[in-house]
Structure 1
Amino acid sequence: MLIRTIKTLIASLGAGLVLAAPGASQAADPGIGDNTITLGMSAPVSGPNGAYGKEMKEGALAYFTQLNAAGGIGGKKIELLTLDDGYETEKTVANTRKLINDNKVFALMAFYGSSPTTESMKVFAEAKVPLLGTISGAGSLRSPVNRYMFHLRASYADETEAIVNHLVGLGVTNIAVFYQNDGFGKSGLDGVVATLARHKLKPVAVGSVERNSLEVGPAVIQIAKANPQAVIMVTLYKPTAAFIQQMRKAGQMPQFSTLSPVGADLLVTEMGAKEAHGIGISQVMPYPWNDTVPIVKEYQKALQSSAKHSNYSYYGIEGFINAKLMAEALKKTGRDLTREKLVNTLESSNFDLGGYKVGYSPNNHNGSRFVDLTVLSRDGRVLH
């Protein structure tokens, strides 16, 4: 009886040693299959801002399609699951929960919008699921650093600093601000105010519009009273177009400048090339028509192959670069992928994605400060 008990104990200990042995197989993090790695994305693909999400998704899929055709990452193909949030905060939060809890994605990418991402951060950070690439430059998403969120683009403070410095350098001092009344717009407004203060200036007038609204009349009245030399607009393409058109009807002809989220191609489509002529736009991605830059040439070729067209755009190339950054980080993390290993890789790496460089550290998840100032030509092209 004693011998049998000892044998049973030895067998149990042996089984335990096998389970704990180095190299023994462990359950993979969610989203890692035998042949696939599943990623999640929440973006507007319907509603007044649906064009933004469509272009981002198309750019990301263009990259992943060529990656998968070449064998994927370690033999695993990338699957991107995109959920439509209509640029609504509550829907984005619900999508985040669904992607993590129901769809079991490994990581998230290319979330759109300051307020939606701010609220979603509470969900993915608690679940310890990394988000790589936020289509937002809001300071509230960048400070303090969140371990599970990594930014690809420059901040709104970087963009507004470049615009204000350029205008003041031209002798323009009477500057008004038109902003979207949410995290995105307020972050841009703060950036303008801060940079103007360094020049010992203040906005001569400030007006706002609600998210997903075109009610710009009150802002036009408020800003037109000040007769500004320039208006910096921290808004998306539809309210931007409506505001400019109504300002001109009111006899106001300031220099209009706006930030990268507006989407240059979408603004031209909304207004027409003639009406959009002369509008200044800061950009945080490489000029998508300059095929001398390696990442741009790669994007153009992949989009033509995947989407069967050559309608290049800033949102399209941002989706493409976001996908490439994710892939490069996954490759660098190596075999036996886990979310924590991916975060550690990102926090200790610099990436040259083909002329667009991104770098992170444990204390800085901002990625890039690249800003390019552009202007719309008479025929609707973006000049830089």
Structure 2
Amino acid sequence: MVGRRELLRAVVALVGLVFGVAAIAQTPGVTASSIRIGQSAALSGAAAELGTEMRQGIEAYFATVNAAGGVNGRRLELVSLDDGYEPDRAAQNTRTLIEDEQVFALLGYVGTPTSEASLPIFTEARVPFVGAFTGAELLRDPFNRYIFNVRASYYQETGRIVDHLVAAGTTRIAVFHQNDSYGRAGLEGVRRAMERHGLEIHAVATVERNSTDVAEATRILTAAEPVAIIQISAYASCAALIKAMQDLRVPPQFFNVSFVGSRPLAEALGDVGRGVIVSQVVPFPFSGVSPLVRTYREAMERQGTTNLSFTSMEGFLAAMVTVEGLRRSGEDLTREGFVRAMETIRGHDFGGFVVTFTDGNHNGSDFVDLTMISRDGRFIR
């Protein structure tokens, strides 16, 4: 016969189990065995390779974590929806992910206009938004406690490019930018950097999002005769402009920020890509020098992916930072607890890439590097 003390212990344990299950049920996207994470990205259209590579990097790291038992015993699940790099679709995807898919957090969104359209939705729902593939200021200022930026900003990238050019004696600097919030963010970054040197932008030309019609931009920039052109657009339109201006007697030197999509840009350019420079916000992924790069390469190989890239490296790194926050949150996982846990990541070295968040600053890194496309379409530092 069970004694009163043993019976009481059993009841207490049962009550604890019921309340524990209820607590988990109250946190969307979290069960006793899984954590569901959402992503909206361009998986089709002119920027499809950016979204595809970002997703590949996230999935590679999630697979690595799941193979080792998950996070505090829970497997990671990624739900990716295609937005075609269109803001309206991204906004609808965000509602779907939060309301229908019941994801715990959002990770690895691709693009400034798509992130901008989603911002009021995830903010109102108080859903963490981590590691977006954009360096736009609108995700940095004003401060939003649900946004965690893993990468450096476009202001930092364009500042590095302008400083490099001016140090080399180049001042006739033009800008070719996408005619949306992404392009305008890059343009403002160049303007600010030029102003620091007492200079003005020499000429400006634009292209519409998801378009490769660069005829008017080519005309404007050809007439201006710049020595260098800083491009703030995606790989298809940037490649179109570079090709269109190759027949000039003295073609300008072309610079791109990281969002361009380095690998697809090099592939689109082929033989004319040599010498094109791209700023990067993650470590060089093609040599296994740092522990981070080795881990990335091994994870991608296990997934059967041979096309290494800066973009999939960024997705991989964003996933690493997210998982670190999940681990620090403990077993009783909540969104608010996750935000607080992420804010304890201070000076954390992810194997050669240091990230710091505080309760007043969610911009994790200021790392910027410059790379160049070489003769064979490979990247060199």
Partner of 1:92: helix, strand, or coil? helix
- Shift of residue 348, structure 1, vs aligned partner: 2.9
The CA distance in 2 between the partners of 1:140 and 1:305, in whole Å, is 36
Q: Which string of whole-angstrom CA distances, capped at 9 and with x for unpartnered residues, describes residues 235-278 of structure 1? A: 11100011111122354511111110111210111111x21000
Q: Any residues of structure 2 matched to 1:104-143 within 5 Å, and which?
A: 104-143=102-141
Higher radius of gyration, 1 or 2:
1
Using a 3 Å threshold, how does the CA distance of structure 1 residues 218 and 250 change in structure 2: closer, same or farther? Answer: farther
Report the AA paired with residue 205 of structure 1: A
For the 8 Å contact 1:224–1:252, the answer to whether it is kept is no
Partner of 2:109: helix, strand, or coil? strand
Q: Any residues of structure 2 matched to 1:180-329 within 5 Å, and which?
A: 180-272=178-270, 274-306=271-303, 308-329=304-325
Q: Which moved more, 1:249-258 or 1:40-49?
A: 249-258
Q: Which moved more, 1:218-227 or 1:274-283?
A: 218-227
- Shift of residue 309, structure 1, vs aligned partner: 3.4
For the 8 Å contact 1:177–1:207, the answer to whether it is kept is yes
For the 8 Å contact 1:18–1:24, the answer to whether it is kept is no
TM-score if structure 1 supplies the norm length?
Answer: 0.92
Q: 2:40 aligns with which of 16, 39, 42?
A: 42
- Shift of residue 381, structure 1, vs aligned partner: 0.8
Partner of 1:365: 362
The CA distance in 2 between the partners of 1:134 and 1:304, in whole Å, is 24
**Structure 1 runs not aligned, ≥5 long:** 1-16
For the 8 Å contact 1:43–1:82, the answer to whether it is kept is yes
Partner of 1:349: 345
Partner of 2:213: helix, strand, or coil? coil
For the 8 Å contact 1:158–1:371, the answer to whether it is kept is yes
Partner of 1:244: helix, strand, or coil? helix
The CA distance in 2 between the partners of 1:383 and 1:107, in whole Å, is 35
- Shift of residue 93, structure 1, vs aligned partner: 0.3
- Amino-acid identity (%): 43
- Shift of residue 53, structure 1, vs aligned partner: 0.9
The CA distance in 2 between the partners of 1:336 and 1:176, in whole Å, is 52
The CA distance in 2 between the partners of 1:151 and 1:107, in whole Å, is 14
TM-score if structure 2 supplies the norm length?
Answer: 0.93
Report the AA paired with residue 32 of structure 1: V
Using a 3 Å threshold, how does the CA distance of structure 1 residues 219 and 252 change in structure 2: closer, same or farther? Answer: farther
Partner of 2:172: 174
Partner of 2:155: helix, strand, or coil? helix
The CA distance in 2 between the partners of 1:186 and 1:147, in whole Å, is 24
**Structure 2 runs not aligned, ≥5 long:** 1-11
- Shift of residue 41, structure 1, vs aligned partner: 0.6
The CA distance in 1 between the partners of 2:379 and 2:360, in whole Å, is 35
The CA distance in 2 between the partners of 1:40 and 1:238, in whole Å, is 27
Q: Which string of whole-angstrom CA distances, capped at 9 and with x for unpartnered residues, describes residues 83-123 of structure 1? A: 01100000000000000000000111001111110110100
Aligned length: 366
